[in-house]
Structures are given as structure tokens and as C-alpha cells.
Amino acid sequence: MNIGRKRKVMLHKEVDELLEKKNFEKARDLISTYKLIGYQVCQLGLHKMFYYGLKAQREINLTYNEVDNPYYSKAAPMKLFLIAEAENFLKRRPEQ
């Protein structure tokens, strides 16, 4: 989807406002519809950024978007989590 620069800036502002208000569902819809960059992270990236339990008890109660895996055509869909929502519920790892 090709959108203009002004429209993209407006969408980023709208998503930022929704995330501040913790309206994650509506923000997730806008991000996935317009494919906005910088708001989502895959499960491996989530694990690198946050602590969320030992491998045996790793049950993430965050909602996510499933998209086709861009790296492997036969692989399972990629799960994309909102970074802002993860910051609400998970403890961030220290920067290295």
C-alpha cells in the first residue's frame, strides 16, 4: 500500500496517541492495515528485549498479529507483538 508522506505522519501520530491511551487493539489494527514500521517485534525479538519466564513456563498472554513469514515460505506464520503493550506487562532486559 503506497500512502503519502503527510498521511503516514498523521497515522504515526494517531498510533502514538492510541498507545499512550493504552488502546492497543485499535493501534494494532492501524499498524497492520498500513504496515507501519517500528511498533511491533517478533517473538524472538520480544525474548531478547524482555524477561518473560523460563522456557518451560513461557506463556505470553499478549495478543499478536500473525503475518506470513517473510524468511521462509513453508514456515509457520510470524507472530508480531506490540512493543508498547509488552512494556506494560513485561520486565525489560538491561541494555548491553
DSSP string, 70-86: SS-TTSPPEEEEEHHHH
The vertex-45 CA angle with 59 and 23, nearest 5°, equals 70
* pLDDT value at 58 more than 70: no
What's the whole-number mean pLDDT along residues 54-70?
75
* pLDDT value at 26 more than 80: yes
What's the whole-number mean pLDDT along residues 68-83?
88
Q: 38: left (phi > 0), else alpha (psi -120 to 50), else beta?
A: left
pLDDT at 71: 80
Q: Over pLDDT 90: what percentage of the chain?
A: 45
Q: Kindly report the pTM of this predicted structure.
A: 0.80
For residue 39, the 8-state DSSP code is: S
SS3 content of the chain, % helix, strand, coil (to 5): 45, 15, 40
Confidence of residue 25 (pLDDT cuts 50, 70, 90): very high
pLDDT at 55: 56
Helix axis angle for 24-34 and 5-20, nearest 10°, is 160
